[in-house]
Amino acid sequence: MTNKQERLLQFILDFHKDNGYSPSIREIAKGMGVSSPSTVKAMLDRLEAQGVLNKSSGVARSLSPISQEQEDLGIPVIGRIVAGTPVMAEENIEGYIPVKEFLKNSNGGFFLIVDGYSMKDKGILPGDYVFIQPCKEISNGQIGAFRLNGEVTLKTFKKTNEGIFLLPANEDFEPIPVNEDDTFEVIGRYVMLLRLREQGYKFM
Amino acid sequence: MTNKQERLLQFILDFHKDNGYSPSIREIAKGMGVSSPSTVKAMLDRLEAQGVLNKSSGVARSLSPISQEQEDLGIPVIGRIVAGTPVMAEENIEGYIPVKEFLKNSNGGFFLIVDGYSMKDKGILPGDYVFIQPCKEISNGQIGAFRLNGEVTLKTFKKTNEGIFLLPANEDFEPIPVNEDDTFEVIGRYVMLLRLREQGYKFM
DNA sequence: TGTTCTATTGAACAAATGTTCGGGGTGTAT
DNA sequence: ATACACCCCGAACATTTGTTCAATAGAACA
């Protein structure tokens, strides 16, 4: 890509950022100090041929630069590390966690701050952020957030012949039976756990 | 906002997602099953007056819906839940975790998959994703990822008069001394822990 | 020098596009 | 009832905009 082509692409990107839509050919001409629309069209055609720009012919302001950023990939996951190789070497990367994609699909979900040690044996500790996906029912053995007689709690759901129980994951706590006259409600499913430790990343 | 207006806004969003640019007034008319461009223009003017849509008059395809998603806020954090109130009521929301912002600042960071139980007492279990922020030095008492003689391990860093030790968080394991003739390297700081549990959100 | 290729220009054209105007319809609140 | 907001139509208009084409300028090269 030539110097001029990069400048053109940058101009389109900047314009789009400022205005929310693509520039017209004549606007590009003015912005780039060119006097003829056909000049710009020729340049655009070249960029499109190179595959760095999409364009619908005959459609006004239909420029869409093909972003070369790969930020959609997410954060790399390192599984095993081959001895001697740099950590971020490609052979170490097992995949990516598309946190952004997760955010998009997190409709209605929220984080709950864990309070006590009742789920300690599942590695869920006070101060942890537990992502809850709201739902009305929950299957046996799953962890979820529940409201029992007004109290909100995170437990394992268990349904037996003898009724519903909320199981802690800690010897020091007893299973909680859900009685007939209790007000009981499933708030949502436990989907993910987030724990923040370092100062620099304290969000709140 | 009326039902129709919401549909219109959604149409514009969908169109933009599919094509990378806004629809023209006549394309909207066709897509919404309306036969006159003036009808559409009137609707657009109303949306603009309501402040949910930006538009440059006289400029083709210059629609840019003002996103009502608060995704920049992040995912809400529910701290305490007042008895009887719906979970997502505003009074329950303590703040937001700006996961997106975190992503932006995660330059060079990556996830490491935890292998053994050596950090069990810190609530770090096998299968957890540990976010590592690369750095060359690490302060006393912090958890980090290290490479010792080719092996990568997650431990608490401890520096004493007697030398450097890597401390596990589990009675069954012994502190690991770092000797003079070991090859030792700090990979990065432990910043955050992510644990995925439910099927629907298994990323990989 | 002449040749060839590419980039640029200016003008003209045709299509796409936003806009305006007059008309009508429906429902809701005053 | 009256007013008002919303929705719809069809036609015409002015502008914006992409496109084409012949001509020119400049660089690279034999």
Q: Do B71 and A104 touch (CB under 8 A)?
A: yes
pLDDT at A68 over 50: yes
pLDDT at B154 over 70: yes
pLDDT at A72 over 50: no
Of A75, A93, A192, the CB nearest to B201: A192
Residues A139 and B71 sit within 8 Å (Cβ to Cβ): no
Q: How confident is the model at residue A73 (pLDDT cuts 50, 70, 90)?
A: very low
pLDDT at A104 over 60: no
Of residues B118, B199, B103, the one with CA closest to residue B154? B118
The catalytic residues of B are 118, 155
Of A81, A192, A198, the CB nearest to B197: A192
pLDDT at B25 over 80: yes
Q: What is the pLDDT of residue A108?
A: 66
The range of the structural domain enclosing residue A120 comes to: 110-201
Please tell me if residue B134 touches chain A, with a CB cutoff of 8 Å. yes
Q: How confident is the model at residue A194 (pLDDT cuts 50, 70, 90)?
A: confident
Q: Do B192 and A187 touch (CB under 8 A)?
A: no
Residues B99 and A134 sit within 8 Å (Cβ to Cβ): no
Domain membership flag for residue B70: no
Residue in this structure with the two tokens 């101009």, named with its chain if needed: A11
CA distance A128 to A142: 18
pLDDT at A94 over 80: no
What is the mean pLDDT of the segment spanning B161-167?
90
Of residues A70, A195, A69, A65, the one with CA closest to residue A125? A195
Among the candidates B84, B104, B124, a domain finishes at: B104
- Show contacts of B64-67: CB within 8 Å, 24+ apart: B64/A19, B64/A20, B64/A21, B64/B22, B65/B9, B65/B12, B65/B13, B65/B16
Cβ-7 Å neighbors of strand C: A 4, 34-39, 42-43, 46, 58-60; B 24-27, 37-38, 41, 55, 57-62
Closest CA in chain B for residue A194:
B194
Please tell me whether residues B175 and B140 are part of one structural domain.
yes
CA distance B173 to B167: 9
Please tell me if residue B95 touches chain A, with a CB cutoff of 8 Å. yes
CB contacts < 8 Å between A and B, how many? 204
CA distance B76 to B71: 10
Q: Which is it for the CA torsion A26, A32, A36, A38, positive or negative?
A: negative
Q: What is the pLDDT of residue B71?
A: 39
- Percent of all residues in chain A with a pLDDT value above 90, rounded to a whole number: 21
Q: What is the pLDDT of residue A203?
A: 39
Please tell me whether residues B88 and B42 are part of one structural domain.
no
User: What is the separation of C-alpha A100 from the centre of its chain, rounded to a whole number of angstroms?
Assistant: 3
Give the three-class secondary structure for B12.
helix
Please tell me whether residues B139 and B176 are part of one structural domain.
yes
Among the candidates B54, B85, B104, a domain finishes at: B104
Q: Do A113 and B201 touch (CB under 8 A)?
A: no
- Percent of all residues in chain A with a pLDDT value above 70, rounded to a whole number: 75
Residues B130 and B190 sit within 8 Å (Cβ to Cβ): yes
Interface test with A, best of B135, B138, B193, B199 (most A CBs within 10 A): B193
Residue in this structure with the two tokens 């929310």, named with its chain if needed: A20
Q: What average pLDDT is seen over chain A?
A: 79
CA distance B136 to chain A (A): 13
Partners of residue A134 on adjacent β-strands: A188
Which H helix or E strand runs over A78?
strand A75-78
Where residue B141 sits, what CATH number does that domain have? 2.10.109.10
What is the mean pLDDT of the segment spanning A45-73?
76
Closest CA in chain A for residue B72:
A103
Higher-pLDDT residue of B158 and B78 is B158
The catalytic residues of A are 118, 155
pLDDT in tens, A148-190: 887 888 999 998 888 899 999 988 999 999 998 998 988 888 8
Closest CA in chain B for residue A152:
B81
CA distance B64 to A13: 16
Please tell me whether residues A114 and A186 are part of one structural domain.
yes
Please tell me if residue B123 touches chain A, with a CB cutoff of 8 Å. yes
Q: What average pLDDT is seen over chain B?
A: 79
pLDDT in tens, A19-34: 989 999 999 999 988 8
Higher-pLDDT residue of A141 and A97 is A141
- Show contacts of B125-130: CB within 8 Å, 24+ apart: B125/A123, B125/B195, B127/B195, B128/A123, B128/B193, B128/B194, B128/B195, B129/A77, B129/A97, B129/B193, B129/B194, B129/B195, B129/B196, B130/B154, B130/B190, B130/B192, B130/B193, B130/B194
What is the mean pLDDT of the segment spanning B144-161?
87
CA distance A70 to B185: 29
Backbone φ, ψ for residue B35 (5° rounding): -105, -10
Q: What is the pLDDT of residue B200?
A: 33
Please tell me whether residues A130 and A75 are part of one structural domain.
no
Q: What is the pLDDT of residue B21?
A: 92
Residues B152 and B132 sit within 8 Å (Cβ to Cβ): no
Please tell me whether residues A131 and A49 are part of one structural domain.
no
Of A21, A150, A187, the CB nearest to B84: A150
CA distance B187 to chain A (A): 8
pLDDT at B37 over 90: yes
pLDDT at A127 over 70: yes
Query: Which positions on chain D have an atom < 7 Å from some protein CB?
Result: 6-12, 15-22
Q: What is the pLDDT of residue A45?
A: 87
pLDDT at B102 over 70: no
User: How many domains, chain B?
Assistant: 3
pLDDT at B15 over 50: yes
Residues B127 and B173 sit within 8 Å (Cβ to Cβ): no
Write the single-letter amino acid at B46: R
Please tell me whether residues A196 and A130 are part of one structural domain.
yes
Q: How confident is the model at residue A107 (pLDDT cuts 50, 70, 90)?
A: low
